[in-house]
A and B are shown apart, each in its own frame.
Chain A
């Protein structure tokens, strides 16, 4: 395959956005969970909630910082590599991103300092409020991003003037039904990421025979939350599928691996799609199930890829496989959450070490599901940047050279690998030290410091207030 500036730019965007999403998807869920923990601690007065809160706050700090630096890059990339896109969609997407910056980033930034170091200085209710505000900030951020991306999937509320997309109905953009199934889908995914990491850490401590009280709280809260959220997530996933079926039939056909019209349609469980021959090899299919999933009918006709001209079809293999990986992760999570919750309620989970191992090793499942889900959504949208109206190839900066695109891709890979390696190592060290590892409260008078400074211990500066 020729390495064109287009392909390199797509790879770069895919790489930087995939790297970035790892952190927000974790912190959105974690912030909400921290709020719950803090509220529980206030209401019940049990110290274990406080210990667990302080412990996860440190990890939250490190992940939050990594999300911030990798997010800055995203704001620039639309202009550097996709300047035609940026010029055309700015009146809509630039505006939505500016709302994200104004409403979410400043909310997060202002209350984060209080969250990290303000506990000795503010009343408990205000501390809880600050926690909730950080959670609100992360959630708002996710909201604006989902509005933005949903507009690219199903553009609404606009008119085209001089090749530029001008908004003419903001309510249609903000309250597009697509937003309101995809935003909950992403939010639930983030909550599940938090739940899975918390439960996984609890299982890890139990396996090592450490921090019994904290580990129990983590395991139970993580598992119970997941037990409720996974079914809800499967339901919203189904709704997302419905919108794709209705609004992006060619993406739906690619996900289903359906090359030709079928009536009633079968469902391909697994196969090896062959774009050249426009067929699947080694397919395992269930008759009629395809119609049932697509249209809730036993007889409906479902469209195939060959209904669309080749230049309007997405690549098939990536959406086909990533979708199946995502669903597979979801089903695995359902099993872990339900069976784990059952064992927890029966107080028998400590005896089933294989189950603790499964929960521990299963902590990345939501991340895998999020990444593969986004690959399905984004690759499945191709060859369009804005579905049906702006092709990805036409969105590229016209004078971008192969050399520039190669250099930038290599630089981002190198820098991200470097900081990711260290960041993950520091998080691992915090996890290994455990909830009782280090001092929990900052000394009185310590500065509310930077996000990741929460992991500093030997060099706390002081601001003498009121000078």
Chain B
């Protein structure tokens, strides 16, 4: 029962990272152009799906709360200020989608809100993961770090890293969904972002070694972890080849695979801890009566339906987006 909810949690979080990852990435890229037509197309590439994408964050949150209450309570309270900023970013960016087209003279406000909100939310998410990898100050199951216990150069670095990562996912999505200028501009950005991301990974690895982070020991104890970098390397090669040949559909899946591999690496490095290295899965699990009640209803029946809805949603909106300014 516990393992089932660990799995649901992992799937939901991974789906969130992959799906909201690309639309947050598109949001950041949106800030890099001034061309109104391009901006319109970039929005069209994510607008039908971003709402559903973000719902996976809520799913992650509530599963965490229901199935692993101490983890929910500890993490959310420890990251008080960063989460506040992330929520503000997500709210402003969410309404910007809607208000931008409605605005007449104040459209620039929503442009800033959209790009800025996407950037801030992404940065905070990366920083949070970095702080977790480095280890939160927790004694006897209680957070003791104060207002800024999560703040460290490593965490900030991870914030930058995730911005690069989501932006890369975003470019791959634009390549997949758009044509013309937007597609070309996205193709041109991919190499720079990929190199940036690679450099980030190297720096992270060196830092982790230098600081002798506990996570590193996991790699020695669990050598099969090296499967993940190997998968990533293959995916990166395929992605590079497909970018060169302009195979629009491929890069997104390859970058998503790299993200999944990174996710797997972290998950297994943390195992069996949920908050490394202080709260384990078994410590955190809610009583059996809670997990069983969740399993026999939402777990067994509703969760597959949710996945199905997501598939249907994406298949309805498959294919390239075109601006139809000439439609009227």
Contact = CB atoms under 8 A, between A and B. Distances in A.
Interface string A402-419: 011001100110010011
Given A69-B94, A109-B52, A461-B41, A450 B287 contact: no
B62 A98 contact: yes
Given A72-B87, A79-B72, A91 B95 contact: no
Contacts of B294: 95, 98-99
A80 B320 contact: no
A86 B66 contact: no
B287 A76 contact: no
Contacts of B293: 95, 167, 170
Interface stretch (B96-104, B222-230, B256-264): B96-104
Given A86-B69, A102-B298, A450 B50 contact: yes
A335 interface: no
Interface string A81-94: 10110111111111
Contact of B58 (A89, A105, A113, A459): A105
Contact of A453 (B72, B101, B321): B101
B76 A80 contact: yes
A289 B274 CA distance: 58
Interface in A386-431: 397-401, 403-404, 407-408, 411-412, 415, 418-419, 422-423, 426
Contact of B73 (A86, A449, A451): A86
A68 B297 contact: no
A297 interface: no
A78 B65 contact: yes
Nearest to B39: A459
Contacts of A461: 40-41, 43-44, 47, 321-324
Contacts of B69: 86-91, 94, 164
A83 B73 CA distance: 5
Interface in B68-101: 68-70, 72-77, 79-81, 83-85, 87-88, 90-92, 94-95, 97-99, 101
A409 to B, nearest CB: 10
Contacts of B64: 94
A14 interface: no
Nearest to A100: B62
A104 to B, nearest CB: 10
B212 interface: no
Main SS of the interface on chain A?
helix
A106 B318 CA distance: 20
Nearest to A105: B55
B321 A106 contact: no
A48 B287 CA distance: 55
Interface in B285-328: 286-287, 289-290, 293-294, 297-298, 302-303, 305-306, 309, 312-313, 316-325, 327-328
A443 interface: yes
A450 B98 contact: yes
Interface in B42-57: 43-44, 47-48, 50-52, 54-55, 57
A97 B58 CA distance: 10
Contact of A62 (B91, B98, B316): B98
A462 to B, nearest CB: 5
A351 interface: no
Most chain B C-beta atoms within 10 Å of own C-beta, residue among A69, A106, A166: A106
Contacts of A452: 95, 97-99, 102
A461 B69 CA distance: 43
Given A68-B51, A450-B97, A73 B73 contact: no
A161 interface: yes
Contacts of B142: 398
Instruction: Name the 3 nearest CB pairs between A and B, nearest first.
Output: A90-B69, A79-B76, A452-B98
